[in-house]
């Protein structure tokens, strides 16, 4: 088995671009210890994290380089991940507004180039049965229609972009027999209340049709789900947005923000951008102090991920893989995993709490051990990529796409809780609609009609998180 291969990756797009002599500034080193709660900001012109996605996405498409002087813009979008690029794309495509996107580092540098690429028909951390408990049946049905529309927005974009799309839905596996009752209830609610063709699979059916996951006692099959290469998809968003007139400025962090007479003055190292409206799409990489509107509103949580070398024919046979449908298990700190198009295994989970601790070998070992427990034939397999990134979790486990203060022309889309690969496309579409001043009945739904909530225990969240992680492990593995 290889050691933790944090720095043992193929040259990513940024190194190839530099080798080609492109006229862009030299990159600052990737910071593996970055922590949004204690670092002053996500950086300035930093290299990508050493992810599998970066190493295999191909050449980075052209962008507009750093802001080089004071300039005016109709709308500024802060952040160039899925949400920010989708916002710029839909502003141009559906409202004729050519946005200026400001990115502190590289295009899709944060969540978008570090996630698992699992595009589910979902958003936030709550299940549909929990929507009913929280808001009642009528609101839950209307929210489902909106999330379903979001999956259609995502599917449409995926169909237009070469991003190694893998259809087949989503498998939700029970890691212990006692979790089967939960999955059966969720399958029933999705089928009987919302009309989905959900099915429960026995352990034997799972192994016969999908994979021989030795950690699974059965599974819920959701029909909607597309696995993607997230950075290839983001590059597609970038190309489409720029073709429609959007400008995307990398190495341009917002280091100061003043609003005077209704005009936002966003200061970057290369100049100030003046804009009538600002849309924030920074996810868990929101700089402290960017705006009081977001102070304490999101809880950044780390997610670690690894990708193995390609599996041999014998290993494919031994693991029983007959499908590339992506998988999540029922642990609270869940594993998410799948067989990639080039026959590598990818698996991720949550373990580390602080950026300072993210490099600790125990978090890497958690994934190695999890992979071996699920697929014993892969014990000892070489791992070629290892990375981590921050997830934006809201305090009530659901995202918001809002204008938090009607008196300010500031908007944000945040708080996906790890379920943003798919819904971020529609969130960008809806945020563009709000920026353009176009009303919609959907804006009465809970994810649109109120800001992200704060929480009284925000100053103590890391202490609480450490205690919760211990409790989750005990509940998931012992009790």
Residues in the chain: 479
Which two structure tokens, joined as six digits, stand for 366? 């958690």
Could you read off the pLDDT of 421-448 as tens digits, one per residue?
999 999 999 999 999 999 999 999 999 9
Q: Phi and psi dihedrals of 154, rounded to 5?
A: -60, -50
* Percent of the chain topping pLDDT 70: 95
Q: Please name the residue ranges forming H helices in 59-215.
A: 82-95, 128-135, 137-159, 180-188, 203-209
Three state DSSP letters for 361-392: HHHHHHHHHHHHHHCHHHCCCCEEEEEEEEEE
> What global pTM score does this model have?
0.94
Of 448 and 13, the one with more pLDDT = 448
Q: What is the mean pLDDT of the chain?
A: 94
How far are the Cα atoms of 74, 402, 436, 453 from residue 409, in angstroms, in the given order? 11, 11, 10, 19
Q: What is the mean pLDDT of residues 256-273?
A: 98
Instruction: Count Cβ atoms within 10 A of the Cβ of residue 335 and give its class: 0-12 exposed, 13-18 middle, 19 or more buried.
Output: buried
Identify the CA nearest to 254 among candidates 60, 116, 35, 67: 67
DSSP-assigned letters across all residues of 13-39: HHHHHHHTT-SSPPPBPP-TT--TTTS
Cα 89 to its chain centre, rounded Å, is 18
Report, as an integer, the average pLDDT of 4-8. 32
Could you tell me the two tokens for 377? 């034939």
Tokens 């009642």 belong to 136
Domains of the chain: 165-224+302-391 (3.30.9.10)
The CB density around residue 64, as the number of other CB atoms within 10 Å, is 16
Give the per-residue pLDDT at 67. Answer: 98
Angle at 413 between CA 353 and CA 444, to 5 degrees: 125
Least confident among 188-192, 285-289, 317-321: 285-289
Residue-wise pLDDT tens digits, 202-249: 999 999 999 999 999 999 999 999 999 999 999 999 999 999 999 999
Place of tokens 């893998």: 166
**β-strand pairing of 100-102 with 218-222:** unpaired
For the residues 190-210, what does the mean pLDDT come to? 98
Q: Could you tell me the pLDDT band of residue 23, with boundaries at 50, 70 and 90?
A: low
d(CA 300, CA 218): 32
Name 170's bridge partners: 222, 326
pLDDT of residue 461: 87
Residue 10 has pLDDT above 50, yes or no: no
* Cβ contacts of 181 within 8 Å, gap of 6 or more: none
Q: How far apart are CA 266 and CA 264, in angstroms?
A: 6
Mean pLDDT of 289-317: 96
Query: How big, in percent rounded to 5, are the helix, strand and coil portions of the chain?
Result: 35, 20, 45
For residue 62, give both structure tokens. Answer: 């052209």
DSSP secondary structure letter of residue 91: H
């Amino acid at each position: 088995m290889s050691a933790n291969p944090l720095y043992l990756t193929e040259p990513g797009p940024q190194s190839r671009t530099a080798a080609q002599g492109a006229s862009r500034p030299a990159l600052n080193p990737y910071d593996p210890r970055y922590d949004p709660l204690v670092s002053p900001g996500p950086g300035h012109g930093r290299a990508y994290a050493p992810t599998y996605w970066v190493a295999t996405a191909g050449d980075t498409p052209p962008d507009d380089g750093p802001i080089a002087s004071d300039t005016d813009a109709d709308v500024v979008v802060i952040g160039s991940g899925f949400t920010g690029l989708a916002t710029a794309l839909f502003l141009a495509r559906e409202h004729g507004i050519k946005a200026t996107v400001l990115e502190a580092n590289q295009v899709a540098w944060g969540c978008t180039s570090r996630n698992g690429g699992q595009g589910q028909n979902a958003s936030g951390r709550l299940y549909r049965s929990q929507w009913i408990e929280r808001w009642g049946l009528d609101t839950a049905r209307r929210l489902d229609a909106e999330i379903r529309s979001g999956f259609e927005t995502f599917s449409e974009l995926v169909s237009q972009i070469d991003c190694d799309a893998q259809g087949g839905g989503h498998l939700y596996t029970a890691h212990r027999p006692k979790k089967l009752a939960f999955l059966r209830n969720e399958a029933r609610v999705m089928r009987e209340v919302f009309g989905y063709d959900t099915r429960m699979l026995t352990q034997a059916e799972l192994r016969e049709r999908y994979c021989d996951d030795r950690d699974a006692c059965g599974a819920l099959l959701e029909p909607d789900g597309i696995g993607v290469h997230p950075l290839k998809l983001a590059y597609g968003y970038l190309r489409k947005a720029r073709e429609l007139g959007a400008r995307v400025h990398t190495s341009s962090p917002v280091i100061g923000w003043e609003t005077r007479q209704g005009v936002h003055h966003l200061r970057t190292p290369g100049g100030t951008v003046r804009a009538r409206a600002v849309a924030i799409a920074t996810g868990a990489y929101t700089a402290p102090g960017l705006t009081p509107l977001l102070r304490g509103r999101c809880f950044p949580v780390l997610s670690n991920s690894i990708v193995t070398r390609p599996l041999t024919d014998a290993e494919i046979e031994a693991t029983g893989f007959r499908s590339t449908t992506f998988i999540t298990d029922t642990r609270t700190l869940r594993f998410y995993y799948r067989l990639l198009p080039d026959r590598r295994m990818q698996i991720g989970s949550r373990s580390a709490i602080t950026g300072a601790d993210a490099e600790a070998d125990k978090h890497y070992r958690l994934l190695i051990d999890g992979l071996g427990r699920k697929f014993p034939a892969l014990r000892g397999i070489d791992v070629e990529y290892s990375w981590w990134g921050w997830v934006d979790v809201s305090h009530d486990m659901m995202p918001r796409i809002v204008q938090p203060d009607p008196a300010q022309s500031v908007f944000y889309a945040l708080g996906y809780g790890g379920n943003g690969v798919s819904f971020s496309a529609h969130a960008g579409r809806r945020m563009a609609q709000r920026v353009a001043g176009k009303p919609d009945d959907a804006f009465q739904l809970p994810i649109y009609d109120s800001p992200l909530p704060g929480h009284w225990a925000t100053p103590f969240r890391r202490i609480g998180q450490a205690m919760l992680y211990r409790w989750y492990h005990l509940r998931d593995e012992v009790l």
